[in-house]
Amino acid sequence: MIGRKIALWTVPLAAGLAIAPTAMAKPLGETSTSIKIAINEWTGQNLSAHITGKLLEKLGYKVEYITAGTLPQFTGIASGSLSVSPEVWPSNLGDVYPKAKAEGKLEEIGELGLETKDGWLFTADTKTVCPKLPEWTALKEPACVQALATPETFPNGRLLDYPADWGSVSGPELKNAEIPFTPVPAGSEGALVAELQAAVAAHKPLLMRFWAPHWVLAEVPVEWLKMPPCDPNNLAQCIVAPPVIKVAWAGFRGKWPAGYELMKSLQIHADDQQKMIYAVDKQGKNLDQAVDGWIEEHQSDWQSWLKAAQN
């Protein structure tokens, strides 16, 4: 996870929406121990995490939000020191995740429902110097490479990549397709956004890795590169738009049975998330305000999930 002006709802939820513990058919499990929800580096994930937390609280659980990081979170989930991460992009799993999954230490509990994009995008000014875009072979043209080269990458062109601690396969993609570009990690999500905005404002060419949904894509004109062909025998070195998944500690189901059923049902759609991201990152809204707006608007959805979690 496109932003647009939206209205946020601040009307408090009616007390009658609370779920009485006596109505539970499935046991809550351990209610004295907090469910620890991983917090990562981007606004969309923070929103997903807090929606998750508010719904778990409605079931009667305590929750705690733990700053974890995209790749370090999997060590925490595998050990049980983190309970759940509701928005995991399989394009950034690192080395710990597959090992922990194979050992049965963490569990995938379905897709979150976000319709995503992940790949390399470029600005209109980039197409001026690389006229064969959006075909990926345009990046092999000497004039295109030269126009996107910088002192740190010369004679290669520069690809602005995800921050190093997010994990990225842009390097293998470039190497496998023999594209003469060097990936340069950004310092943060904010740095990615700032450079994209600056490039558009200054009419400078830019090639960068990015994702959708994201609010900035509503403000700046960009196109997505048609990515190089992917070797089906080596998908780990390809960039593909992933189905965003929910991942939990392997002991989650046994410790918090009703919470596990809620997590299975939880769905957050890209358009809704983009509205919330825009509200928080561009309109200066409080994260809780944005989440409460989603809660108010989607009562029929989450009430059915809570009901399913009880039965």
Q: Tokens for 18, please give them.
A: 């609370």
Nearest to 8 by CA among 63, 34, 47: 47
pLDDT at 311: 85
CA distance 278 to 269: 14
The CATH number covering residue 208 comes to: 3.40.190.100
**pLDDT over 90 at 77, yes or no:** yes
Quote the domain boundaries for residue 180: 117-237
CA distance 59 to 300: 16
> What's the pLDDT band for 60 if we cut at 50, 70, 90?
very high
Region 99-112: what's the mean pLDDT? 97
Amino acid identity, position 118 = D
Share of the chain above pLDDT 70, in %: 92
Residues 258 and 188 occupy one common structural domain: no
| Beta carbons of 165 and 74 less than 8 angstroms apart | no
Residues 231 and 141 occupy one common structural domain: yes
Residue at 73 is within a domain: yes
| Beta carbons of 9 and 56 less than 8 angstroms apart | no
The CATH number covering residue 25 comes to: 3.40.190.10
Nearest to 181 by CA among 151, 128, 145, 138: 145
Region 29-42: what's the mean pLDDT? 95
pLDDT at 25: 56
| Beta carbons of 145 and 137 less than 8 angstroms apart | no
Residue at 133 is within a domain: yes
Q: Per the confidence metrics, is the pTM higher than 0.95? A: no
pLDDT at 30: 94
Domain end among 188, 210, 237: 237
Residues 38 and 109 occupy one common structural domain: yes
Residue-wise pLDDT for 162-177, tens only, equals: 999 888 999 999 999 9
CA distance 161 to 182: 9
